Amino acid sequence: MTLLSTRRLSKDFGGLHAVRGVDFDLPEGQIRALIGPNGAGKTTFVGLVCGRIAPTSGSVRFAGDDISRLPAHRRIRLGIAYTFQITSVFARLTCGENVALAVRRRGGDPDREVPAALDRVALAAHRHRLAGDLSYGHQRLLEIAMGLAQSPRLLILDEPTQGLSDSEIEAFKSLIRELGGQTTILLIEHNMSVVMETADIVTVLNFGEVLAEGPPEAIRADRAVQAAYLGTG
């Protein structure tokens, strides 16, 4: 089943065509990586998907329904969770309280679910620490825990390994592989080892358009991708 699809999705900012006529299909249960040079339109594209940005033209469908005009909070209720490129945790709340907010949003049981969510990202020992006192990397992990706590059908992770240590990145790879098949993941990531080791399929954006799409090894070998992004062409 196709969980998420876009057709001719476009976004213009004045004279800038940030996203140009993108057709995109994401099957349920797949881990999809979205890569491309800086300014390729990746964050704008996911902003269109999650409802933070209104499209200039085109459509977004989720689980068969047209959600192109739905606001972001309605899309969250449908099961779309988006972690931001810049952390969006509540600094004056503890880690546990941050995750509890996400659990309550969908009517869950914080007492039971908060410890499990924090444990999945190796932050159980920090449950009672203020989120603002965490390192940047740990704040990114907390944000992922908040996303997981929503039990989303689609989890969108925007640069999740930015600021993480090497050991934290390895743990993140394991987490994504564990989540494979349990939820659908759209991963925007610059770390190519993360992309190549976790993604089922990779979509490459360049100048707001789809340049290439396919399994990781095919993308690594693609001459156009090498020239535009990987720097080996």
Model confidence pLDDT, tens digit, residues 70-118: 999 999 889 999 886 556 789 999 999 999 998 998 888 999 999 999 9
- Indicate yes or no: pTM above 0.85: yes
Greatest CA separation for the chain: 53
Residues sharing a CB contact under 8 Å with residue 38, sequence separation 6 or more, in sequence order: none
- Contact indicator for 74, 216 with CB cutoff of 8 Å: no
Overall average pLDDT of the 53-81 stretch: 95
End-to-end CA distance of the chain: give it in Å, rounded. Answer: 36
Q: Give the domain ranges of the chain.
A: 2-230
Sign of CA dihedral 140, 145, 150, 156: positive
Overall average pLDDT of the 138-157 stretch: 91
Superfamily of domain 2-230: P-loop containing nucleotide triphosphate hydrolases (3.40.50.300)
Sign of CA dihedral 101, 140, 152, 124: negative
Within 10 angstroms of residue 221's Cβ, the number of other Cβ atoms is 13
Q: Looking at the predicted structure, is the pLDDT value of residue 133 above 60? A: yes
Rounded Cα gap, residues 36 and 57, in angstroms: 22
**Identity of the amino acid at 7:** R
Among 112-126, 140-154, 162-176, 218-232, the minimum mean pLDDT is found in 218-232
